[in-house]
Structure 1
Amino acid sequence: MKMHSKGFKQKPRSKVVVSFFIVLSILILSTWMHMFVIGKSKIQMTATSIVGSTKKTIKIPLKCKDTTQTCPLNYPNRFKPAISSSETCPDYFRWIHQDLKIWQETGITRETLERAKPYAHFRLVIKSGRLYLHQYDKCYQTRDVFTIWGILQLFKMYPGQVPDLELLFLCHDQPGIWKKDFKKEGPNSTWPPPPLFHYCSHRDAYDIVFPDWSFWGWPEVNVKEWTTLQVAIREANERVRWKDRVPYAHWKGNSHVSLERRNLRHCNFSDKYDPMVHIYEQDWEKERGNGFKSSNLEDQCTHRYKIYIEGRAWSVSKKYILACDSMALLVKPEFFDFFGRSMVPLEHYWPIRPQETCRDLKFAVEWGNNNPEKAQDIGRRGSEYMMKSLDMKYVYDYMLHVLQGYGKLMKLDVTVPENATEVCSETMACLINDGGLIRQCMDDSLVMSPSVKAACDLPQPYGDDELKRFLEKQESAEKDVEKLTNDYWEVQNKILQKRIKI
């Protein structure tokens, strides 16, 4: 028998192979059992550690100085994620194509861009991965602060992937670029309309929709950044199960900002009539003095049904209401945000007609209490949409795709104005050291390292026929609910007439 150089006898090849597969099987089984026992979060951590071992993790902490704060010169300007994207973004990303479509033929020239200036609160210039701000007017509260903060975190999330561009941003509630003011034909043509970024838009407006400031926090009303709040609401949903919740519809907010909300107060309980809704006025001045003890959003997931109704325009409250696992009752919105256009009535929420708010709300609650499994299912799907399709990484992915698409339309030399100031995470956060809510929101939402996973793949735009079918699907569901509601009240009226005759 031949001997190896070490002098050991060689085992028959078949035994070596068998022994190898036995050992390998034991290792795989033990690893699987370990993962099974320690749970999902540890599996995710293991996957992360494997990625980290194949590609060095870059850390981007705040670099605060004791005196005058400046932007670091060594920000990473390129990073290739270890995990390439193999998923398509959620359907609401398809609307990016619709929002930018109006400039596809003409592009965005300097003249076109500057016509948006009268409507804007500030101009942002992105050049070589650095951000410059020219402020025209102060936004309400810290809307501008956290909008800009969010874009700076996007730079950290995806270094080197945001193109050079210039954009103008509006912080008001309502859109600024209305279709009626911009004509394509005729001697007084004002085409194309100026591009203006905004938190919401309207079917009769051209504003480019962008995630609102509250995803990074709204310190004035003690609203935490979205990821933290998602965890808190998810825990609240576990504490109070749907079947154990108050079988009424709930709304709490400031009713003074719109006629629709003031009318909602008329739906309240009386001695002769139970509208099946609980309406609560939110006095923010009083609440601030009380340390925000009665306004935690995660503490408001206690009713089976939650009402969404617009204020001056769209409201940031939509995502918090839908996340509660309650069946969301959406008083049909006039305005839309970036994520809501792909939601479908009866799948993610129950539609309410603005002109029949009280009657529709009462029937919705009656229907839900008589069909608890169906109502709970609508609430669950709406909540999953907020928790999964609106995960914070998708928010950043949306920002990246809309800015990349917008950047491709630039037909101008991107230049930094003389009166613009460079801003970065350090210049915004480091000088805030009072321990208040603004700095807390910044710390909680600070991106510390680039994403190990690439952004999701932007889905194809809607074809004209496909978009028409989708809008018809939404409208058909609304009509189904309208018929159910009208039939209910027709029966109720007949019962009432019989009682009167008796």
Structure 2
Amino acid sequence: MTQTCPSNYPTKFEPAISSSETCPDYFRWIQQDLKVWQETGITRETLERAKPNAHFRIVIKSGRLYVDHYDKAYQTRDVFTIWGILQLLRMYPGQVPDLELLFLCHDRPGIWKKYFRKEDNATWPPPPLFHYCGHRDAYDIVFPDWSFWGWPEVNIKEWNKLSVAIKEGNKKVKWKDRVPYAYWKGNPMVSIARRNFMTCNVSDKYDPMVRLYVQDWKTETRAGFKGSNLEDQCTHRSMIPMEHYWPIRPNNCVDLKFAVEWGNNNTDKAQVIGRQGSEYMLKNLEMNYVYDYMLYMLQGYGKLMKLDVTVPENATEVCSETMACPITDGGLIRQCMHDSLVMSPSVKPACNLPQPYEDGELKRFLQKQENAEREVEKWTDEYWEVQSKILQQ
């Protein structure tokens, strides 16, 4: 009630049971994301060059968390990112080293590789910036999305509840009874590629076999989000071959149509792939893995610190109590915090971190992805060549 952080938090992590579980393969990207600073480490000068892109700075010192805000993030992205890190400290007390990090809450990456060259001493190494999104042409350090702990503005539950709801929603309509069209719903205004794809809804030459819907969040807010529950959208067939997704070239409506044609003509294969994609998400993105990923990322990042970790004068100490207790009017923000609160330290240690990618191994992995994309493009082009010849006869 005094709005101060308790002094009796656990400071040591003492798991009751051991763990021999290996983390999912995507954990290998932790080492890959941090690799660029392995030789130089992260100095004060290097870190501060990320500040112009950051919404806030987080300082963790002796297991306590401090925040220095620079700019207001969209909605509560910053709030639930900070909340998530606080829950990590509660789950693994004493396991996160002293560190400082800068965080960007926008949609797009902020540290593009083309502006940072190793041969240019003035720009190397790139500034470390934590962010929700990664890109093969950016150095942003990928960190779990804020919505794992809830997105109250759009009535998205924290992930433990939402994943269960999606799993149940997936059972509502059998695969064979689902609408045999491609489906997407979202805000097209945040991306040129999205806006261009909205034109794929209509064609005077053929049935485009896609259903693309504009998600108007203002209207949904007024209507109480009746049309935006994710678990209610499992009514369309997946168009994912290969393994978990089907690559679509930008600004290419015919790619979408062929993807749906393939899925409808190969329903057994498409269903298997769709199931694999769903199972991968529900199994490998459990919240314990989200926290383990955060833990290993912050531990690896902390080892790169070549500076004295300092709490800025303008920073404020925050904890679960000071963030949640002042919210006394109920509502979705408080509900998300309540649902995602870590009540006690984990009874077991984090999963075992897999070995990082070796250069040759990573190259083969990326080449495999590229080959899969090229193969689908080849199928698509051949399909449309045949269709064109049929129309000309």
Q: TM-score, normalised by structure 2?
A: 0.97
Offset at 1:256?
A: 1.7
Q: Which residue of 2 aligns with 1:170?
A: 104
Shift of 1:293: 0.7
Q: Counterpart of 2:148 in structure 1: which amino acid?
A: F
Code of the residue aligned with 1:351 in structure 2: it is: P
Kindly provide the amino acid, as one letter, of the partner of residue 390 in structure 1. Answer: L
Aligned length: 393
CA distance in structure 1 between the partners assigned to 2:112 and 2:226 by the alignment = 40
Q: Following TM superposition, by how much is the alpha carbon of 1:273 offset from its aligned partner in structure 2, in angstroms? A: 2.5
- Give the one of 215, 237, 244 matched to 1:348: 244
State the match for 1:108 in structure 2.
Answer: 42
**Corresponding residue for residue 189 of structure 2:** 256
Conserved? CA contact 2:193–2:251, under 8 Å: no
Q: C-alpha separation between the residues in 1 aligned to 2:313 and 2:205? A: 67
Partner of 2:94: 160
Partner of 1:25: none
Q: Is the 8 A contact 2:220 2:227 kept in 1?
A: yes
* 2:58 counterpart of 1:124: yes
Selected match of 2:318 from 423, 430, 440: 423
Answering whether residue 347 of structure 2 is matched by residue 455 of structure 1, we say no
- In structure 2, the partner of 1:289 is 222
Q: Given residue 309 of structure 2, which amino acid in structure 1 is its aligned partner?
A: V
Task: Write the distance in 1 (CA, Å) between the matches of 2:178 and 2:197.
Answer: 22
Tell me the CA shift for residue 208 of structure 1: 0.7
In structure 2, the residue corresponding to 1:427 is in which secondary structure?
A: helix
**Take 2:119 and 2:237, find their aligned partners in 1: how far apart are those partners?**
51
Distance 1:192 1:265 in 2: 40
Q: Is the 8 A contact 2:166 2:230 kept in 1?
A: yes
Secondary structure of 1:413's aligned partner:
coil
Q: Identify unmatched segments of 5+ residues in structure 2.
A: none
Separation in structure 2 between the aligned mates of residue 377 and residue 117 of structure 1, nearest angstrom: 46
Could you tell me how far 1:388 is from its partner in structure 2? Answer: 0.6
Whether 2:103 is the aligned partner of 1:195: answer no
With 397-406 and 231-240 compared, the bigger mean Cα shift is at 231-240
Question: Superposition pairs for residues 344-493 of structure 1, below 5 Å?
Answer: 346-356=242-252, 358-493=253-388
- C-alpha distance after superposition, 1:160-201 (max 9, x if no partner): 111111111111111122222223325x63211111111112
8 Å contact from structure 2 (residues 197, 251) kept in 1: no
Deviations 1:235-262 (A, max 9, x none): 0111212111111111111112222111
Please state whether the residue corresponding to 1:246 is helix, strand or coil: coil
Unaligned runs of 5+ in 1: 1-64, 306-326, 329-344
Answer 1 or 2: higher relative contact order, Cα 8 Å, separation at least 6: 2
1:144 maps onto 2:40 in alignment: no
In the aligned structure 1, how far is the partner of 2:266 from the partner of 2:118? 51
Does residue 1:223 correspond to 2:156, yes or no? yes
Tell me the equivalent position of 1:268.
Answer: 201
Corresponding residue number in structure 2 for 1:44: none
Output aligned runs, 1:21-170, within 5 Å. Answer: 65=1, 68-170=2-104
Shift of 1:483: 1.5
Percent identical across equivalent pairs? 80
1:283, distance to aligned residue in structure 2 (A): 1.2
